[in-house]
Amino acid sequence: MRLAELSERSGVSTATIKYYLREGLLPPGHQVNATTAEYDEEHLRRLRLVRAMIQVGRIPVATVREVLGHVDDDSLGRTIRLGAALWALPRLPEPDAEDEHVTAARTEADDLLTALGWTNARLLTSISPAYRSLVVAVAALRRLGYDWGAELLAPYAELMHRAAVLDLDFVESRESEAERVETAVLGAILISPMLQALHRLAQEEESARRYGFE
Amino acid sequence: MRLAELSERSGVSTATIKYYLREGLLPPGHQVNATTAEYDEEHLRRLRLVRAMIQVGRIPVATVREVLGHVDDDSLGRTIRLGAALWALPRLPEPDAEDEHVTAARTEADDLLTALGWTNARLLTSISPAYRSLVVAVAALRRLGYDWGAELLAPYAELMHRAAVLDLDFVESRESEAERVETAVLGAILISPMLQALHRLAQEEESARRYGFE
């Protein structure tokens, strides 16, 4: 398809598409002659992913380029490739290692992973931004003076593991490896807000079931 | 306890506590004489909640005051009181009702709630910010050109319902009604980042189990 059709099918203006091409977020089209290039379904798919990252994920262009670099690097194994794409997403700063609450939270997070039998996640703690986020969140709770134990988190973690199984089953249902890695990145951006909305809706539902509306 | 002890036990400076008192975020202490006031465990608990909303939730002072107004209004039933506190938290703008993707997303969200049997949540759709967030997220997916059906969301919704049961069981385990409502607000602020971190950790774990590390 020509640029005009790519624009129409994606809902992205031709000016924006040209900008993405210049920034290297979209691979160049197949040059038909000096002034015309052809684009295919892979361009359309990539364009949607870039759009999702920038518009919904509010990810800076430089980070989008970095994530796509991992997505396209098929020399990496799949776990690393899926993970590397997520690890390039915006992340929290490293928590202060001197802070007593951080040290305590790290121990609690480690104990939780051990109790859950998440031995693989346990191996990744030094580099995983998800582990870092968990430590930051638990440390925040401690700093505020709440002593709710990390053991409260175990049943939530089991639920999130079931969610991860659903995620990966869906990723695996995609046809090509490129599509699978792209879907993992998309999921990381689009699934969280939906899960949060569903969680709050479920709270409303459960609350009304228990206490009614009066 | 005196102001100095309240400050020490909460880790909040006396200047900040005085600011919260002036802004009406903390009820006044019990005046002992012209220059001295006494504070109790309820002040400490309320101070921690205010701290969580402002520091972790990054909620503006005016909104904190509004949420606390609902928390303290014991003329409301519990569902409404829990809900009203959450409804005062920062929320998305109303989605554009003229937008075809929004209309389609609304139908899908309604069908999902019906399929799930969430009849109470169904009654609240016109006022619930959680419902609005779901519509916005589904509409974003459609606008990007993804036609993944809302039926994919049903198993995630079931998991989130189990999470909501855990949430409310924990809320109910608190001793006083004031504490229960406060815990619900805290949970809304602190649980989401933890669930998101656990979800990503679970993805790493599951991915490594399926594909190894090479």
Query: What mean pLDDT is predicted for residues A160-178?
Result: 90
Q: What's the CA gap between A76 and A59, in Å, rounded?
A: 23
pLDDT of residue A16: 94
Pick the closest to residue A156 from A195, A102, A190, A128 (CA basis).
A195
- Give the global pTM: 0.87
Decide if pLDDT at A15 tops 90: yes
pLDDT of residue B214: 64
The encoded tokens of residue A207 equal 């609350």
ipTM for the whole complex: 0.87
Nearest to A133 among B128, B193, B207 (CB): B193
**List of chain A residues whose C-beta atoms are within 8 Å of the C-beta of residue B144:** 48, 51-52, 55-56
Q: What's the CA gap between A95 and A105, in Å, rounded?
A: 11
Q: What's the CA gap between B183 and A203, in Å, rounded?
A: 13
Decide if pLDDT at A92 tops 70: no
pLDDT of residue A87: 66
**Least Cα separation, residue B18 to chain A (angstroms):** 18
pLDDT of residue B182: 85
On whether any CB of chain A is under 8 Å from the CB of B197, the answer is yes
Decide if pLDDT at B84 tops 70: no
Query: What mean pLDDT is predicted for residues A52-64?
Result: 86
Residues with Cβ within 8 Å of residue A90, at least 6 apart in sequence: A59, A63
pLDDT band (50, 70, 90) for residue A84 = low
Decide if pLDDT at A158 tops 80: yes
pLDDT of residue A183: 86
Contact in structure between B116 and B126 (CB atoms under 8 Å) = no
Which runs of consecutive H residues, i.e. helices, occur in chain B?
Answer: 3-10, 14-22, 41-51, 61-71, 78-87, 100-116, 119-123, 129-143, 153-172, 177-211
pLDDT band (50, 70, 90) for residue A34 = confident
- Counting residues of chain B whose pLDDT is more than 70, the rounded percentage is 94
Pick the closest to residue A56 from A188, A187, A189, A181 (CA basis).
A189
Pick the closest to residue B182 from B76, B90, B67, B75 (CA basis).
B67
Interface contact B202-A118, CB threshold 8 A: yes
Q: What's the CA gap between A36 and A6, in Å, rounded?
A: 13
pLDDT of residue B79: 78
In tens, the pLDDT along B160-188 reads 999 999 999 998 998 888 888 888 888 88
**Least Cα separation, residue B211 to chain A (angstroms):** 6
Give the DSSP letter of residue A53.
I
Query: What burial letters (b/e) apply to A127-152, b meaning 16+ CB within 10 Å?
Result: ebbbbbbbbbbbbbbbbbbeeeebee
Pick the closest to residue A125 from A159, A167, A83 (CA basis).
A83
pLDDT band (50, 70, 90) for residue A99 = confident
Most confident region among A154-163, B147-156, B173-182 by mean pLDDT: A154-163
**Least Cα separation, residue A113 to chain B (angstroms):** 9
Domain B3-87: assigned CATH number: 1.10.1660.10
pLDDT band (50, 70, 90) for residue A182 = confident
Mutation to test the B interface, candidates A50, A101, A199, most B Cβ within 10 Å: A199
Decide if pLDDT at B59 tops 80: yes
Q: Return mean pLDDT, chain A.
A: 87
The encoded tokens of residue B204 equal 């790493």
The yes or no reply on domain A3-79 and CATH 3.40.109.10 is no
Pick the closest to residue A128 from B29, B94, B199 (CA basis).
B199
Q: What is the dihedral of CA B77, B185, B127, A206, to 10 degrees?
A: -70
Interface contact A197-B124, CB threshold 8 A: no
Contact in structure between A46 and A182 (CB atoms under 8 Å) = yes
Parse chain A into domains and list their residue ranges.
3-79, 100-211
Burial of B3 (0-12, 13-18, 19+ CB in 10 A): middle
Decide if pLDDT at A77 tops 90: no
